[in-house]
A and B are shown apart, each in its own frame.
Chain A
Amino acid sequence: MAAEREDIPAMKRLVAFCFVLVTACADPRSLHAQVTYERIRHAAQEPQNWLTYSGSYSGQRHSGLDQINTENVKSLVPKWVFQSAALGKWEATPLVVDGILYGTAQDNRTFALDAQTGRPIWEYQYILPSDIRPCCGRVNRGFAILGDKLYFATLDAHVVALDARTGAVVWNVAAIDYRKGYSFTMAPLAVKNMIIVGVSGGEYGTRGFVEAYDAASGERKWRFYSTPGPGEPGHETWEGDSWKIGGAPAWITGVFDPATNQLFWTTGNPAPSNRAAQRLGDNLYSNSLLAFDVDSGKLNWYFQYTKHDEHDWDATQVPVMVDLDGKKLIAHANRNGFFYLIDRTNGKLLFSKPFAHVTWSTEKDAEGRPLATKDSSPTLKGNRVCPGAAGSTNWMSPSFDPQTKLFYVTAREQCDVFSTAPQEFEEGHAYYGSAYFPSDEALPYWGALRAIDPLTGERKWEWKHVTPSWSGVLSTAGGLLFTGDSEGNVIALDEASGKALWHFQMGGAVYAAPMTFAVDGKQYVAIAAGSSLFAFGLP
């Protein structure tokens, strides 16, 4: 479909320019135009806005804006800073619609800002109970927008709709009892008239799911459990009743292919994460890519990256839709260290290849899937395996630039000692069954942003981080990549060479991915660091 094509940059730039022109004249900040499904579907046609977590349904985290480019990026300056006044990791990507920025921060704080000045229009603090069960901090990754409402999902497992103009709660639905170990951290995805979410809780012996709500009413349309019950295909991949507490959460925002009406969503680790003694079998659909009919929630096909995982290698990375060589594909750099290229029409693997240091697999099965070596399992004494539990990458968003045709991913180089810690299951109580430790070795962890040719898995260049970064990547039509690091820098790299062209010290570690937008014809780049959201622009 024309709107999804990415091979006509000149045309796209023209369209973008016209949009900026039109919206600039009309003072977009007073328009309150509805964000329709059609607008989200054609998000590339309005690059001044950022309408979904990854910028568009493709998951590419790529922007057609090119006002900030390789020539002038060196003069980029901070334009404003917004402080969340909360501690902990700020992992969210904000949305921008017609001059207004909508964001979430730690502790389920939410806000709307003038995107040009950073001045708050409203702020809404969702009140969390004291006994929530987050796995890894009081984090949230952002809003979805549809019509005149914003949608976010909470650490006490609610899905909430807010009025975009006031921040007032329109509806608030409890998806499931958080006391059993469930929570939400991802940004929802708005498709048609539905709000789609995936649950967190792989550390509590929960039963993962992906589900869709009616955007207007909050009524649940469908739910797909990622561990199949009796009589369902895949049930046989679980030992006994282990499917009931088998984890396989779905805590990163998926992507949507309007051409085939398919929703792609990834899942996380089977529970308990590093001790597989009581869950023999492949443990479907943990660590998988799931392809759904978006209207019914019916599973069309699945691809499991790590069978019977014993190392907490969630496949919860944004699966990126790319169209190359006339093929409709999904590119996925997985936490387990392998890069996978998958045919998104049928789930067939084209190839897998390591993009980081891997010790757990030396052979592949007939389909080309990496197989775990026998001695990679955690032991009571401890067993050193690469990558470590945090993986070769993690939730940080990758990017694909349709102009360079390269895939960019934040990679981590780190090994861990995995050991078992036998534990009885108790509902609502952390259920790891395992422990991991930094590998006691002379060389420390490090990281890199890597440019990968998705058709071959070959590395084109890398930008080394002093310590592993948790920041995602944004590519722009200006020939730039933006990313952050754990030392507090936001960095602009030349896409062609991987050389740094600009950086700014923000004073706090980065756990978020950058995004870009334009207001009144001026491009900005925004990224959270520490407890602050920064927006940068040309002087």
Chain B
Amino acid sequence: MVRAAVLLSARDVFPQSQLSRWLLSGCFVFVFLLLVSGMVSAQEKNPFADDAKSVKLGESQFRINCAFCHGLGARGGGRGPDLTRAQKKHGHTDEELYHTINEGVPGTAMPANGTTGQGVGMTAEEVWEVIAYIRSVEKKTAVTGNATKGDALFHGAAGCATCHMVNGKGGRLGPELSSTGAARSVDSLVESVRNPSQRLAWGLIESTKEFPQEYLSVNVETADGQKFSGVVLNQDNFTLQMMDMREQIHVLEKGKLKTCEISRESRMPAYDSKTLSDSELQDIIAYLVSVSVK
């Protein structure tokens, strides 16, 4: 089986000289055309669509290659979007999904197939199996709320925009939410509103990936008696970068502070169903989903 990943990384092996580059790329185009004509690698429709055995195999491949970010069951994890959504931000057709998996999404954490430094990537067959699996877990009617009402609530009575920004409007004390509706499952969004301290802002904790901005709560008192309360933007063992409740940034050396209390109790109030009814919450979620899928 010829691996798609080998093809994709072929440009890395082109030698420097112009002539050999032309010759080699010619060869690769030829090989590629051969593949297209007879194989499953570049077609518009999934050859394994709705095939139960392929769905099963695709589930294994999904677990191995995708689930670390997209979560078990494709419901979204710390970084990867919830793929059970019927609409995908970066293209929804079989062909587009195939392209997204093979090429990755530039500017995001989604890597091209075979470029994670972990293995040589999935074969074309395996990519189609993964797509067959994703189709099998898609929910067609996930979002029930009214996005227009949700917009009004978010930027008005519910007070979300006091701390959260969407498309440049809103506050800064909580995570920016423009793409959260695509990234997170409805269940996890509900949990974050009803019980925000259960799990703080999502993000891989491993700093091997990116630094974990969890919006921890912090109270400090400086040597000269100034007190600041707010959220942690970043920290290490020796320094603290925080934003206070007036959205002012403070950069501090931990060793010079009189007190420094960092807590996993979220600054966000827990919205119970008296403060925000279930249908209002669904409206807000519908709004977040609508702005996240452009």
Contacts and interface: CB of A to CB of B under 8 A. Distances in A.
A130 B237 contact: no
A423 interface: yes
Interface stretch (A20-28, A320-328, A480-488): A480-488
A440 interface: yes
Contacts of A126: none
Interface size class of B (residues with CB under 8 A): 35 or more
A465 B78 CA distance: 22
A509 B206 CA distance: 11
A470 B72 contact: no
A444 B212 contact: yes
A488 B118 contact: no
A341 B235 CA distance: 37
A106 to B, nearest CB: 10
B56 to A, nearest CB: 8
Contacts of A442: 197-200, 264
Interface stretch (A75-83, A134-142, A145-153, A303-311): A134-142
Interface stretch (B62-70, B90-98, B171-179): B62-70
Contacts of A131: 5-6, 9, 120
A445 B236 contact: no
Contact of A429 (B68, B71, B77, B120): B120
B214 interface: yes
Which of B13, B198, B205, B214 counts the most A-chain CB atoms under 10 A from its CB?
Answer: B205
A382 interface: yes
Interface stretch (A36-44, A236-244, A342-350, A430-438): A430-438
Contacts of B206: 438, 445, 467-468, 486
B107 interface: no
B67 to A, nearest CB: 5
A432 B116 CA distance: 15
B59 interface: yes
A297 interface: no
B117 A489 contact: no
B119 A130 contact: no
Q: B118, B205, B207, B211: which has the most chain A beta carbons within 10 Å?
A: B207
Interface string A445-469: 1000000000000000000111110
Nearest to B56: A422
B224 interface: no
Contacts of A503: 237-238
B60 interface: yes
B10 interface: yes
Given A438-B78, A444-B212, A467 B120 contact: no
B238 A435 contact: no
A382 B72 CA distance: 9
Interface in B183-217: 197-200, 204-208, 211-212, 214
A303 B60 CA distance: 34
Contacts of A443: 264
Given A430-B120, A489-B236, A129 B77 contact: no
Nearest to A467: B207
Among A421, A428, A434, A465: residue with most chain B CB under 10 A: A421
A444 B204 CA distance: 9
B261 interface: no
A215 B200 CA distance: 55
Contacts of B204: 438
A422 B62 CA distance: 11
A444 B208 contact: no
Interface in A328-363: none
A155 B252 CA distance: 43
Interface string A402-441: 0000000000000001010111000011101011111010
Interface string B91-124: 0000000000000000000000000011110010
Given A138-B117, A445-B205, A419 B10 contact: no
Given A444-B212, A445-B206, A487 B236 contact: yes
A488 B78 contact: no
A469 B63 CA distance: 26
A470 B120 contact: no
A133 B236 contact: no
Contact of A486 (B13, B71, B208, B214): B208
B78 A421 contact: no
A130 B9 contact: yes
A488 B72 contact: no
Contact of B118 (A135, A419, A422, A429): A135
Contacts of A466: 235-237
A382 B75 CA distance: 15
A487 B207 contact: yes
Contacts of A417: 72
Contacts of A505: 236, 238-239
Given A442-B264, A509-B208, A500 B237 contact: yes
A500 B6 CA distance: 48
Contacts of A423: 60-61, 64
B63 A435 contact: yes
Nearest to B214: A444
B212 A203 contact: no
Given A421-B64, A435-B68, A509 B207 contact: yes
A35 interface: no
B117 A88 contact: yes
Contacts of A467: 205-207, 212
Given A500-B237, A503-B238, A438 B207 contact: no
A134 B117 contact: yes
Nearest to A464: B237
A436 B68 CA distance: 7
Contacts of A485: 236-237
Interface string A391-405: 000000000000000
Interface string A147-184: 00000000000000000000000000000000000000
A504 B212 CA distance: 21
Contacts of B72: 382, 417, 419, 435, 437
A428 B118 contact: no
A464 B235 CA distance: 13
A417 B13 CA distance: 38
Interface string A109-151: 0000000000000000000011101111110000000000000
A470 B237 CA distance: 15
Contacts of B208: 89, 470, 486, 509
16 contacts: A89-B208, A130-B6, A423-B60, A423-B61, A429-B120, A430-B119, A437-B72, A438-B77, A442-B197, A442-B198, A442-B200, A444-B212, A467-B206, A486-B206, A503-B238, A505-B236
Interface of A: 88-89, 129-131, 133-138, 203-204, 382, 417, 419, 421-423, 428-430, 432, 434-438, 440, 442-445, 464-468, 470, 485-489, 491, 500, 503, 505, 509
Given A435-B64, A438-B78, 18 more contacts: A130-B6, A130-B9, A131-B9, A136-B117, A137-B118, A138-B117, A421-B64, A430-B64, A435-B68, A438-B206, A440-B199, A442-B197, A442-B200, A442-B264, A444-B212, A467-B212, A486-B206, A486-B208
